[in-house]
Chain A
Amino acid sequence: MKRDPLRTQRIAFFLLLLATLLVVVPVGLIVVIIVQKGFPAISWQFLSDMPRQGMRAGGIFPAIIGTLYLVSGAIIFALPIGLLAAIYLSEYARDNLLTRAIKLAIVNLAGVPSVVYGLFGLALFVVFLKFGASILAGSLTLGIMILPLIITTSREALESVPQSFREVSLSLGASKWQTIRHIVLPNAIPGILTGTILGLGRAAGETAPILFTVAAFYLPQLPRSIFDQAMALPYHLYVISTQVPNVEEKITYGTALVLLTIVLFMNLVAIIIRYRFRKMKKW
């Protein structure tokens, strides 16, 4: 009996649509749930107060500050190194074994599980270099973790600058570095910025790398130096949802909401920059 191919197609397309909905709808639901249940907790106090009663009341201010410190530290480390590495790959690297090895290394760094980064940070920064559990150790660990992201996005931005600009600059007698500094880099900045902000968003949401390198369950004061421990939003969320009994639902959801908002906001900014840059490109 011959099967009607159009009928098969209709069934197939229906299943495909179903699969897609199965992926996309829960995302929306998750956001809705968090907003719905977390919003009641959001108040100026919640955002600016220290936690009280063992996290069951009060605010999450130190976690927000801690996340800010860690993320800033991470980018201070990752951006210069990542950008220079991207410049190397885009402007100087030849098609040889060394370049392949570098690209392979980047792919690998990108794939290392986040908890293994935590182990590495512990072994190198906390123990071996004796920084102890500190903002310094945490930032460096996060920095190495987002390095592949910075390198890849920066490299794409640099490579999208037309080759003809470089040729013109060189033909006028400018050196290679002058060409990079005055022509290539300025025109790649929006792309580099996009990558940086995406990196910030990523670093803000990670828990495993900071578990053993910086995160503290509860600190009575805000950190005062980079050698202090700090609280951080992702870790805070983990702790109050799994280790602390009897936390009011809205506090946990509220923490999740704050974290989610920060991360999604950064992603949104990055996407907007990328979009406006594409429209603005004059060439």
Chain B
Amino acid sequence: MVKFQLRNINAWFGAVHALKHVTLDIEQKEILSVIGPSNSGKSTFLRMLDRMNEIHPDFKMTGSALFDGADIMRIDRESLRKRVGMVFALPLPLPLSIFDNVAYGVRMHGTRRKKDLSVIVEQALTQAYLWDEVKDRLNESAFKLSGGQQQRLCIARTLAVEPEVILFDEPCSGLDPISTAKVEEAMLKLKETYTIVLVTNNVKQAARVGDRTAFFLSGELIEADKTDKIFTAPSDERTDGYIRGKFG
């Protein structure tokens, strides 16, 4: 089943043409890796899926983007963002306790009772492989955690609102290899329940984790296909060049 159906998406930041004629389907419960050099439009593409680009006042978009068959521009934006969660490149805990960080989104969507929240928080932290490490100090400030723990906290925070899709924007760029491995492990487990789109600068990570891989260059989607195929026999020579490290 198709989760996102994107047809001829063009996007601009002011005069800069950031995405050019992007057409792509994202399948349910797959992991789609998005690769490409800097400024290729990967992040813009990702943030288009949860309408986060709209934070910039001079962002404009044309084309058709359907989420579960509905035009994302017509769906209520807050509902969309609840259903499509995002994990950012740097760990960004809110200036709250660990518990309150995870509970934040849930509270904003209406759940107030401490009992209900406690259950949700524990579930989310467990799914993010963080529960055991923090279960005794949920009231401590989130800033006391290490970088890797903070990033898993951010994942838990996103999971707590029970999204259908999770967008990862270079989530391991600030992390050491062990933390990176933990995040990747979490992602592979999450695939059972969620659709995942992963933007990454690390080509090898894309190969490890993604079911399909999409290659962006200068705002255009060059090709998207099963990961095996992209990495062994890509259709476009630019894809091949990037993967081999000839540029980027």
Give me the interface of A with B, judged by CB distance under 8 Å. 94-95, 164-175, 178, 182-183, 187, 282-283
User: Do A168 and B92 touch across chains, with their CB atoms under 8 A apart?
Assistant: yes
Docked complex Cα distance between A282 and B86 (Å): 23
For A166, A174, A178, A283, which residue has the most chain B Cβ atoms within 10 angstroms? A174
Q: Is B69 an interface residue (CB 8 A)?
A: no
Can you identify 12 A-B contacts, CB atoms within 8 angstroms? A94-B57, A165-B94, A167-B88, A168-B94, A169-B94, A171-B86, A171-B88, A173-B79, A173-B82, A173-B105, A174-B105, A282-B141
User: Do A173 and B95 touch across chains, with their CB atoms under 8 A apart?
Assistant: no
User: Do A168 and B88 touch across chains, with their CB atoms under 8 A apart?
Assistant: yes
Q: Is B152 an interface residue (CB 8 A)?
A: no
Cβ-closest chain B residue relative to A183: B94
Cβ-closest chain A residue relative to B104: A172
Which residues of the partner chain A approach B50 to less than 8 Å between Cβ atoms?
A: 171
User: Do B81 and A172 touch across chains, with their CB atoms under 8 A apart?
Assistant: yes
Q: Is B18 an interface residue (CB 8 A)?
A: no
Q: Nearest Cβ in chain A — how far from B53, in angstroms?
A: 11
Q: Nearest Cβ in chain B — how far from A128, in angstroms?
A: 40
User: Do A283 and B78 touch across chains, with their CB atoms under 8 A apart?
Assistant: no
Q: Nearest Cβ in chain B — how far from A178, in angstroms?
A: 5
User: Do A283 and B143 touch across chains, with their CB atoms under 8 A apart?
Assistant: yes
Q: Nearest Cβ in chain B — how far from A121, in angstroms?
A: 39
Q: Is B161 an interface residue (CB 8 A)?
A: yes
Q: A95-B57, A187-B95, A282-B143 are known contacts. Are A172 and B85 too (CB-CB below 8 A)?
A: yes
Which residues of the partner chain A approach B57 to less than 8 Å between Cβ atoms?
A: 94-95
User: Do B95 and A282 touch across chains, with their CB atoms under 8 A apart?
Assistant: yes
Q: Is B158 an interface residue (CB 8 A)?
A: yes
Q: Is B233 an interface residue (CB 8 A)?
A: no
Which residues of the partner chain B approach A187 to less than 8 Å between Cβ atoms?
A: 95
Cβ-closest chain A residue relative to B50: A171
- Which residues in window 147-165 of B have CB below 8 A to A? 154, 157-158, 161
Label chain A's interface by main secondary structure.
Answer: helix
Docked complex Cα distance between A94 and B104 (Å): 28
Contact of A172 among B108, B141, B143 (CB under 8 A): B108
User: Do A171 and B94 touch across chains, with their CB atoms under 8 A apart?
Assistant: no
Give me the interface of B with A, judged by CB distance under 8 Å. 50, 52, 55, 57, 78-82, 85-86, 88, 90, 92, 94-95, 104-105, 108-109, 141, 143, 154, 157-158, 161
Q: Nearest Cβ in chain A — how far from B57, in angstroms?
A: 5
User: Do A165 and B108 touch across chains, with their CB atoms under 8 A apart?
Assistant: no
Which residues of the partner chain A approach B105 to less than 8 Å between Cβ atoms?
A: 172-174
Cβ-closest chain B residue relative to A283: B95
User: Do B78 and A171 touch across chains, with their CB atoms under 8 A apart?
Assistant: no
Cβ-closest chain B residue relative to A165: B94
Cβ-closest chain A residue relative to B154: A168
Which residues of the partner chain A approach B81 to less than 8 Å between Cβ atoms?
A: 170-173
Cβ-closest chain A residue relative to B169: A171
Kindly list 20 other residue pairs between chains A and B, CB separation below 8 angstroms, not including A167-B55, A172-B158. Answer: A164-B88, A165-B95, A166-B55, A167-B52, A168-B88, A169-B94, A169-B104, A171-B52, A171-B81, A172-B81, A172-B104, A172-B157, A172-B161, A173-B79, A173-B80, A173-B81, A174-B104, A183-B94, A282-B143, A283-B143
**Leading 5 A-B pairs by shortest Cβ distance:** A172-B105, A173-B82, A173-B81, A174-B108, A171-B86
Which residues of the partner chain A approach B158 to less than 8 Å between Cβ atoms?
A: 171-172
Q: Nearest Cβ in chain A — how far from B55, in angstroms?
A: 7
Which residues of the partner chain B approach A164 to less than 8 Å between Cβ atoms?
A: 88, 90, 92
Docked complex Cα distance between A282 and B82 (Å): 28
Cβ-closest chain B residue relative to A167: B55
Q: A174-B78, A282-B141 are known contacts. Are A182 and B92 too (CB-CB below 8 A)?
A: no
Q: Nearest Cβ in chain A — how far from B134, in angstroms?
A: 17
Q: A167-B55, A168-B92 are known contacts. Are A175 and B78 too (CB-CB below 8 A)?
A: yes
Docked complex Cα distance between A114 and B156 (Å): 55
Cβ-closest chain B residue relative to A166: B55
User: Do B52 and A170 touch across chains, with their CB atoms under 8 A apart?
Assistant: yes
Q: A167-B52, A282-B141 are known contacts. Are A173 and B109 too (CB-CB below 8 A)?
A: yes
User: Do A172 and B95 touch across chains, with their CB atoms under 8 A apart?
Assistant: no
Docked complex Cα distance between A174 and B109 (Å): 7
Q: Nearest Cβ in chain A — how far from B14, in angstroms?
A: 11
